[in-house]
Amino acid sequence: MMSPMSELRPRWLSEEERAAWLALLSTTTLLPGALEGPLQQAAKLSLFDYNVLAMLSEASSRTLPMSELAARTSASLSRLSHVVKKLQGRGLVERATHADDARVTAATITAVGAELIRDLAPLHVETVRGLVFDQLDRRDVADLARIGRKIVRGMDAGHWILRTPAP
């Protein structure tokens, strides 16, 4: 389903597009590891582990169905299932079958897990600030939100982050 080569849809990218593309690719390659380092050191948690726990700790009643948790962490159900199993083994979350619909598993953060996230949050916020927001001015932050949401929308028009209107 490829369009033919034409001036309107050129084969490669313009100079501006290439600069943006390389910057985006480098960012997506480097940022996760840079964000994870401190979490790994402090608590042997991956960035994804942290996000799973953070999403649960922010949820009302500290519980979410696996599907909803997968949506909020942009993960497949398979990936999430493996990780929640691991976190359960560490005593940070629990799993329970939903009463009304036995297909649904609800994950709940434990007191230990909640305490861990509470203790880790300041460190993680500092990492995020240091790597991202300290590098950007106010206009950049607004632009980043706008652009990021557009890219996410292109991949998943119903993505969780789009439920909240743009600020």
| Rounded Cα distance, 126 and 132, in Å | 10
Query: What is the distance between the terminal CA atoms of the chain, rounded to a whole angstrom?
Result: 37
**115 counts as binding a second copy under rule CB under 8 A:** no
**77 counts as binding a second copy under rule CB under 8 A:** no
- Min dist CB 15 to DNA, Å, is 28
How far is Cα of residue 119 from the mean position of the Cα atoms in its chain?
A: 20
| Rounded Cα distance, 144 and 146, in Å | 5
CB nearer to DNA: pick between 89 and 167: 89
| Rounded Cα distance, 61 and 100, in Å | 17
Query: What letter does residue 112 receive in the DSSP assignment?
Result: H
In the chain, helix, strand, coil percent, each to 5? 65, 10, 25
**163 counts as binding a second copy under rule CB under 8 A:** no
> How far from 38 is each of 15, 48, 73, CA to CA, in Å?
36, 13, 20
CB nearer to DNA: pick between 11 and 103: 103
**131 counts as binding a second copy under rule CB under 8 A:** yes
With contacts defined by CB under 8 A, name the span among 80-88, 89-97, 111-119, 142-150 that binds a second copy.
Answer: 142-150
Query: Within 97-116, which residues bind DNA (CB under 7 A)?
Result: 100-106
Binding residues for a second copy (CB under 8 A): 2-3, 5, 9, 11-13, 15-17, 19-32, 34, 51, 73-75, 121-123, 125-126, 128-136, 138, 140-156, 159-161, 164, 166-167
Binding residues for DNA (CB under 7 A): 33, 36-37, 40, 46, 48-49, 65-68, 70, 75-86, 95, 100-106
